[in-house]
């Protein structure tokens, strides 16, 4: 029996799509698809390193897109969940799609359902980040925010902030993955910084921020308190909506951290 293969890619989405291309091209038995860092080789599988090839990646992407626009979005979202083993799951999903594109809506199929659920979780996190980013105005007039999302959602929220804050410079930095997106009034770029200070919403004024910044945070914090109806307090519901892991970056919750 031919040994199943493990494909190793560079960890980029294009790399992953290239791996999918290779898997289809070689018609090989695929044991796994892994990022080069996570290297956990199966005992009996041989490995093959895949070099990212934009052309091949595009062909896979367009191939799916041509048939079903929604599926392409689901695949990208699920991929960004960074869930262990998601690559192999996606490979199987894509194979199903190519065999029969209407499979896309077959929620009675385990793989379709799983991908759909992963995509949904990432979608929820995307939405939460659009809500919970708190910009702080720095001395050099950049609206700056640190975030620590569960999933890698920066690529998904870039467009939202671009169209909303088109007339101000802003920078959203993912502390967990150590990269950010910066808008310079013209375009959004990916940046990485040497951050020696994480901008959580502390009670104390930071000297990198404008004085007014502290005042506005204070106003917001106060607003948040006066808008609560005491006789209706429901903390369980509150934390369900605003999970505690986000609190340290929320100016309205700074006392609670």
Q: Least distance in Å: CB of 132 to other proteins?
A: 7
Within 10 A of 61 (CB to CB), how many other CB atoms are there?
A: 19
Binding interface with other proteins (CB under 8 A): 102-103, 105-110, 113, 127, 130-137, 143, 145, 160, 163-168, 185, 215-216, 218-220, 222-235, 237-238, 240-242, 250-252
Rg, the chain, Cα only: 22
Chain mean position to CA 240: 21
Q: Least distance in Å: CB of 157 to other proteins?
A: 11
Residues 6 or more apart whose CB falls under 8 angstroms from that of 50 comprise 7, 8, 9, 10, 15, 18, 19, 22
Q: Least distance in Å: CB of 81 to other proteins?
A: 18
Within 10 A of 76 (CB to CB), how many other CB atoms are there?
A: 18
Looking at beta carbons only, is 40 or 163 nearer to other proteins? 163
Q: Least distance in Å: CB of 8 to other proteins?
A: 33
Looking at beta carbons only, is 10 or 109 nearer to other proteins? 109
Place of tokens 């392409």: 72
- Distances from the Cα of 191 to the Cαs of 10, 18, 94, 129, 170, in angstroms? 19, 25, 32, 18, 12
Looking at beta carbons only, is 84 or 238 nearer to other proteins? 238
> Which helix or strand (DSSP H or E) is residue 149 part of?
none
> Which helix or strand (DSSP H or E) is residue 137 part of?
strand 136-137
Looking at beta carbons only, is 60 or 250 nearer to other proteins? 250
Looking at beta carbons only, is 166 or 257 nearer to other proteins? 166
The 8-class DSSP code of residue 158 comes to: H
Looking at beta carbons only, is 34 or 136 nearer to other proteins? 136
Q: Least distance in Å: CB of 45 to other proteins?
A: 30
Identify the bridge partners of residue 26 per DSSP, sorted by sequence position: none
Q: Least distance in Å: CB of 33 to other proteins?
A: 25
């Amino acid at each position: 029996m031919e040994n199943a293969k493990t494909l190793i890619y560079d960890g980029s989405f294009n790399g992953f799509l290239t791996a999918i291309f290779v898997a289809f091209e070689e018609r090989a038995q695929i044991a796994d698809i892994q990022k080069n860092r996570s290297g956990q080789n199966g005992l009996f599988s041989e490995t093959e390193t895949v070099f990212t090839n934009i052309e091949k990646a595009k062909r896979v992407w367009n191939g799916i897109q041509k048939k079903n626009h929604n599926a392409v979005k689901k695949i990208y979202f699920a991929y960004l969940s960074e869930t262990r083993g998601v690559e192999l799951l996606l490979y199987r999903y894509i194979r199903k799609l190519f065999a029969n594109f209407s499979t896309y809506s077959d929620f009675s199929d385990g793989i379709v359902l799983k991908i759909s659920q992963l995509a949904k979780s990432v979608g929820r996190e995307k939405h939460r980040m659009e809500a919970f980013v708190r910009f702080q105005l720095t001395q050099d007039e950049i609206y700056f925010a640190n975030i620590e999302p569960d999933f890698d959602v920066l690529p998904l929220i870039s467009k939202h902030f671009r169209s909303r804050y088109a007339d101000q410079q802003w920078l959203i930095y993912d502390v967990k993955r150590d990269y950010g997106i910066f808008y310079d009034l013209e375009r959004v770029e990916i940046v990485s910084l040497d951050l020696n200070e994480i901008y959580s919403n502390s009670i104390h004024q930071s000297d990198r921020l404008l004085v007014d910044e502290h005042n506005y945070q204070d106003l917001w914090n106060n607003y948040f308190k006066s808008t609560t109806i005491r006789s209706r307090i429901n903390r369980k519901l509150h934390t369900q909506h605003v999970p505690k892991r986000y609190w340290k970056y929320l100016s309205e919750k700074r006392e609670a951290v």
